[in-house]
Amino acid sequence: MINEDDYLIFPFEFNEFPKVRIHKIRNNNEYILTDDGIIIEFLRANKVEDDAIKRIADKYSVKLLDNQLQIQTPINELKMGKDRMLQTILELKAQ
C-alpha cells in the first residue's frame, strides 16, 4: 500500500500520467527523492537516449541511478531538492 505522505504529488501532466509523484525517502538527516523509475521507463520506451537523460539530469544535479532519477538533499533543503527534480522532469518532458 502506498502511503501518500511518502510522496510529493504535483498536478501537472507528464504525457499519459495525470500527475507527477516523487517518492520521498527519509535517510537519517536527508531525503532521497526518486521518480521510482517511472519517468525513465517512459522516456526509454519513447526512444529517448540515456545520454540525453543523463545530460539533463546532470544539469540540475540529479543522478540517474538504478534506472531512476534520484537526488539526495538535506531535510532543511527539501524544497530546493524538489525544485531540481521537477526542473529535470519538465525538461525531460520536452524531449
Cα–Cα distance between 46 and 60 in angstroms, integer?
Answer: 22
Residue spans of beta strands (DSSP E) within the chain: 7-10, 20-27, 30-34, 63-65, 68-74
Q: How many domains does the chain have?
A: 1
Other Cβ atoms less than 10 A from the Cβ of 92: the count is 21
pLDDT at position 14 is: 66
pLDDT at position 46 is: 86
pLDDT at position 4 is: 46
Crossing angle for the helix pair 38-45 and 78-93, to the nearest 10 degrees: 10
**Per residue in 43-94, pLDDT tens?**
898 898 999 999 999 999 999 999 999 999 999 999 999 999 999 988 988 8
Whole domain around residue 63: which residue ranges? 4-93
| Strand, helix or coil for residue 62 | coil
